[in-house]
Amino acid sequence: MLEHLSEQPKDKILALMAAYREDPRDTKVDLGVGVYKDASGNTPVMRAVKEAERRLVKEQTSKAYTGLAGDPAFSNAMIDLVLDDTVARNRIAAVATPGGTGAIRQALELIKLAAPKATVWLSDPTWPNHPSILKYLGMKTRSYRYFNNETRSVDYIGMLTDLAAVMPGDIVLLHGCCHNPTGANLTLPQWDGLIKLLQERSVTPFIDIAYQGFGDGLEKDAAATRKVAAAFDNVLIAASCSKNFGIYRERTGVLMAIAKNESVRDVAQQNLAFLNRQNFSFPPDHGARIVTTILTDPELRADWEAELEEVRLSMLDLRTQLAGELRRLSNSDRFDFLAEHRGMFSRLGTSPEKVEKLRADHGIYMVGDSRMNIAGLNADTIPVLAQAIIDAGI
């Protein structure tokens, strides 16, 4: 049987990580993989996470199964964090999932059950796992323009023009904040315009929010998601706890499905639990319990928020420094977009050949589409990257 298998396409980011590890140059810089790193290159366990784990070890008396939807306290805490009180609770179905990816996967499976003919619209570019999972599930997809390679900002006109072609019942996948891979985001007035168009076209928005707290702060990063949640009868929201709690390997996420009313919510809730049962039965619990402990304990929560804010500001600082250095070296403002972008990534907007040149000549590793992880930089490597960008003629 196994001899009938063919090779799967290699994950480009994982291949890049392997190439980086094998590079003997001690001046090499890793701007590839999407994890937060501090100035010394570590991905630390957050203080509040350590404390929540200590409490769990001490106080947890059983590891028996939870419910198929996970612990409701986790879903409630996450609904609070993402939506606050924008939507009545009796309209929101929610399940814990293995990470944000698990939430996206379950959302797409729910769409398959509820609207098998719908097309799912993706931003071009988007996180590569979006099209990859959709393809694997055999679902129809189309893309809408998102990024202007000249201005390195959102191609808003292109986006609205392409989305004018959606059919009623289609699904439009949107990044709630900190767009991956570009770092370019809609302004709130632009979100209003987009919402109006999507309402006129009777589509269901599907928000992927994986970086709440990494852009402009916990509340501001949730603002667009809340606007969308308040404006439609049906909204799907996949939220990841991997980045903002730094618990990547615990696989912690939540899928929320906002329904028109309580009775539709109840059926949606039952379907979400069913899908969990079919795919992995009970969702992972450890990370979810860490998150619940932090979000429901005022002291731990304050400490988590403070550390998350430090992380956010450190990335903003790196952005400002890099843009400043490039302004100096290029004697122009053409790299100022780096300071405007938000989240962990920025798309430099250059060719794969120039990205390869940065790797070959300078040991600078970024994804082929010129996405760089800003958190991979530090005060020493910023001048190196800036000079390399100029030398490569970008």
* Residues with catalytic function: 127, 208, 210, 243
The Cβ of residue 63 has, within 10 Å, a number of other Cβ atoms equal to 8
Question: Residue 10: what residue type?
Answer: K
SS3 at position 97? strand
Say if residues 176 and 224 touch (Cβ distance below 8 Å).
yes
Q: Please spell the DSSP secondary structure of 156-184, one letter per residue.
A: HHHHHHHHTTPPTT-EEEEESSS-TTT--
One of 30, 109, 162, 208 touching ligand PLP (CB under 6 A) = 208
Shortest Cβ 260–ligand PLP spacing (Å): 26
Q: Is 272 in the site for ligand PLP (CB under 6 A)?
A: no
Q: Is 240 in the site for ligand PLP (CB under 6 A)?
A: yes
One of 78, 210, 326, 367 touching ligand PLP (CB under 6 A) = 210
Q: Which of residues 29-88 bind ligand PLP (CB under 6 A)?
A: 34
Residue 102 or residue 363: which is nearer to ligand PLP going by CB?
102
Who contacts 165 (Cβ-Cβ below 8 Å, separation ≥6)? 142
One of 253, 283, 284, 349 touching ligand PLP (CB under 6 A) = 253
**Class of residue 127 by CB neighbours under 10 A (exposed 0-12, middle 13-18, buried 19+):** buried
Look at the block and give the residue holding tokens 């970086």: 211
Look at the block and give the residue holding tokens 């098998």: 116
One of 119, 234, 242, 276 touching ligand PLP (CB under 6 A) = 242
Q: Is 99 in the site for ligand PLP (CB under 6 A)?
A: yes
Of 108, 45, 23, residue with least CA distance to 361: 23
# residues near ligand PLP by CB under 6 A: 13
Shortest Cβ 45–ligand PLP spacing (Å): 16
Residue 175 or residue 342: which is nearer to ligand PLP going by CB?
175
List, in sequence order, the alpha helices (H) in the chain: 12-22, 47-59, 72-83, 99-114, 129-136, 156-163, 188-200, 218-231, 262-279, 286-296, 298-330, 337-340, 352-362, 381-391
x-marked contacts with ligand PLP along 106-145 as a string, rule CB under 6 A: ---------------------x------------------
Q: Is 180 in the site for ligand PLP (CB under 6 A)?
A: yes
Residues that bind ligand PLP (CB under 6 A): 34, 99-101, 127, 175, 180, 208, 210, 240, 242, 248, 253
